[in-house]
Structure 1
C-alpha cells in the first residue's frame, strides 16, 4: 500500500505527448517513476534522452513491469482505446489507475472499467488539464455561493488549430486521428472538457437531453474524424453549449457562466472576470489573476498519490472522479449518436451521487 512517503508510479505508454507532464512533475519529489511500458524503443530512447531516465526502466509489457517492480499506481499515456486494457491488468493486482482524458473511447468500455475498479477496490481517476486551473475552482465557489444567481447558460470552448497544424509527433498523430483508437476527433478530444466541467458544476446532475452537430472542415488533415463539434446540453433550468474544435486559430480552454444577476468569464488558467448586472446593459466588473492552487491540488500526480494513500477523498461529482467521468462518456456517446442521426438524445436522469447504473 502507498504511504505518505512512498508512491511508486508505472507509466504505461509514451505515445500521448501529455506524458512529458509526469516526467516534469517527478522532479517535485512526491513520487517515483519505477518503470515505463513502451514497445517502441526508438520513442523510449528519444524521451529517455530528453528526460534523463535510464532505458533500464523501460519494459515491453505491463506484466513484466509488475513482476519486476512494486507499483502503487499507473498512469496511462497511450491511446484512449488502450485505457481498458490498462485497467484490466492493473485492477486485479490492486494497482490504482489514472488515465488521460477522456476515460475511454465509448460507454461500453467505460462500464467495463467501472466494474473492474469497483470489484477490485481501486481508484480510477481521469486527468484533465483544466482540473488544475485555479480559475475554474474559484468560479465554482462563486457559482455555488450564489454570487451571480442561479445558472442559466454556460458556454465552454476548448481546442486549437488542429493536430497536424501543430506538427504533433507521428506516434501521437497515428492514433489521435483514428476513430477506433481515439473514439472520434474533436468531439472526443475537446468535447470531453466541457462535459466534465459541466457535470462538476451541476454537482452530478445529468442533462436531460444532448444535441450535437459535427463537421469536417479540414478533410485533408483529418480524413477519418470530425474536427468541429458543437454539443448542446439541456438541463431542467439551464442550457450549456460545448464547443470543441480543431479549427480555432488560437488554442483555448475557457468558459463563460451566465446567472440571473451576473456572469463569470474564465479566460484562462489564471485570469477571470466577474460582471454583476446594472440596469439593461451596464455592469460592474472585477478582474482577477489567481495564483496556483496549494499542493497537492496543483498537480495531477501529487493528487493521485494523495487519493491513493487516503489523504484525499474524491466526491462522486468531482472532476477526477470515476462517477463524473462515467457521465462524461454517456454525454459523449449521446453526442456522437445525435450528430449521426440529426436528432436529440434523451438521457435517463440518474444522479451520480446515487450510483452509476
Structure 2
C-alpha cells in the first residue's frame, strides 16, 4: 500500500472540518474516498466521493483502508469494534468512548488486531505550548510536581447550543456534560503531562446554568501518588470565564494563561533549600522567563498525517488510541465521585460507573426542544 484510502463516519461540524483539510490535500499519501451520515442533507456537497447513509455498509464496502469516526459519543465503541473486525485502521474523535467500560471494550478489540493502527484525535498534543511544558517537566527543570490547578471556565455555551440537538447534554445521548464533551482535550493534556491521580473527589452541579440534566459546573480535587495535589475547575455557564493552567514544582512554577507561558525558576530546589537554609523567612532566588510559542498551524491534519505515517511506515503515534482511556476515566470519575458523594480511589471501577450511568439514563425525564443553530456557532471549538 502506498496510499491510505480514508472514510469518515459522521458529517457534523467536526466531520466536515476533517473532510475539508483532507480534500484540500493537507495530508500526504492519503485520499478521502467516502463519507457517511444518516442525515442526507449533510452529504450533498460531497457527491464526487462515495456516499453512504449506513456506517456498516461503508465499513464492509472494501472501498477504504481506514476510517475516522466522528459520530456522537455512544457510537464510537461499536463502530470502532466493527471497523477493527473488518480489518480497518481507526482514528476516533474524542472521547474514544462515552465511559470507561466501553473504552476498555474498544481497547480489548484492538488488542485482538494489533496489526491495525488505533489512534485518538487529541490534537492538543501537537500544540507547542504543551510540548514546551512537557519538556520542562521531563528535563527535570521543574523538579518534582507538588501542586497543579487548571481553571477552565471559558467554555461558555448558551441554551441555543444545548437545544441544537436532542441528543446533546443528555445521559442517553452523550453520557455526560462539560467534562466529557468540552474538557476531554484538557483532561488528556493533564494526564499526558502530569500522570493519573491516585484519588479524585468531584463536586459537580447538574444543570446549574442550563436546562440540561448533565453537569455544567465542576470543581474537582486530585491527589497524586507522589503526594502532589491538584484542582480542576470547569463550567459552560460562566462568562467571561478563565483559562489558567498552573503547575508548581520543587524547582519552580509554570503558568499558562492568555496565550502566554511563564516559567518562574528557583535557583535551588525548594525542599533542599528549606532543609539547608539558616534563615527562617528566606526564599530561593528566582529567574522569571517568558517562553515564546506559536500556535500549531493545523493540529488535526498533523495528527492525521501521523496516523497515515503509522499505517504506511510504522511511525510511533502521537496519540495512541489506548491513551484515550485516561481522559474518559478522569471525566467519569469526577462525575461519579460527585454522584456518590465521596472520594474515589484510582483506577476507578468501570463497571460501577457504567451501572450508575445506566441508572441515570433509565431515570431521565429530560426533554429538549430542538432549534436550528448555524455552523458558525461551532467553528471556534475546532482548535480548543
TM-score scaled by structure 2? 0.76
For the pair 1:108 / 2:101, whether they are aligned, the reply is yes
**CA positional deviation for 1:39:** 1.3
Give the whole-Å Cα distance in 2 for the aligned partners of 1:297 and 1:178.
27
**CA positional deviation for 1:186:** 0.9
Give the whole-Å Cα distance in 1 for the aligned partners of 2:48 and 2:162.
24
Contact 1:262 1:274 in 2 (8 A): yes
Count of aligned positions: 329
The answer for the alignment partner of 1:21 in structure 2 is 17
**CA positional deviation for 1:252:** 6.5
Task: Name the stretch that deviates more: 282-291 or 56-65.
Answer: 282-291
Contact 2:92 2:321 in 1 (8 A): no
Aligned Cα RMSD in Å? 2.9
**CA positional deviation for 1:74:** 1.2
The answer for the alignment partner of 1:285 in structure 2 is 288
The answer for the alignment partner of 1:272 in structure 2 is 261
The answer for the alignment partner of 1:228 in structure 2 is 217
The answer for the alignment partner of 2:251 in structure 1 is 261
Give the whole-Å Cα distance in 2 for the aligned partners of 1:248 and 1:303.
36
Which string of whole-angstrom CA distances, capped at 9 and with x for unpartnered residues, describes residues 64-115 of structure 1? 2245453122111110111012112200122111122122111121111011
The answer for the alignment partner of 1:73 in structure 2 is 66
Once the two structures are superposed, the pairs formed by residues 44-193 of structure 1 within 5 Å of their partners are 44-45=43-44, 48=45, 53-54=46-47, 56-121=49-114, 122-158=116-152, 160-164=154-158, 167=161, 170=164, 173-193=165-185
Change in 2 beyond 3 A, CA 1:184/1:66: closer
Give the whole-Å Cα distance in 2 for the aligned partners of 1:217 and 1:281.
46
**CA positional deviation for 1:254:** 5.0
Which string of whole-angstrom CA distances, capped at 9 and with x for unpartnered residues, describes residues 191-218 of structure 1? 433432232224xx53211110111464
The answer for the alignment partner of 2:275 in structure 1 is none
**CA positional deviation for 1:323:** 3.4
**CA positional deviation for 1:9:** 1.3
Contact 1:190 1:244 in 2 (8 A): no
Contact 1:105 1:181 in 2 (8 A): no
> Which is greater in Rg?
2
Q: Which runs of 5+ in 2 are unaligned?
A: 268-281, 349-384
The answer for the alignment partner of 2:187 in structure 1 is 195
Change in 2 beyond 3 A, CA 1:130/1:263: same
- SS of residue in 2 equivalent to 1:136: helix
For the pair 1:34 / 2:33, whether they are aligned, the reply is yes
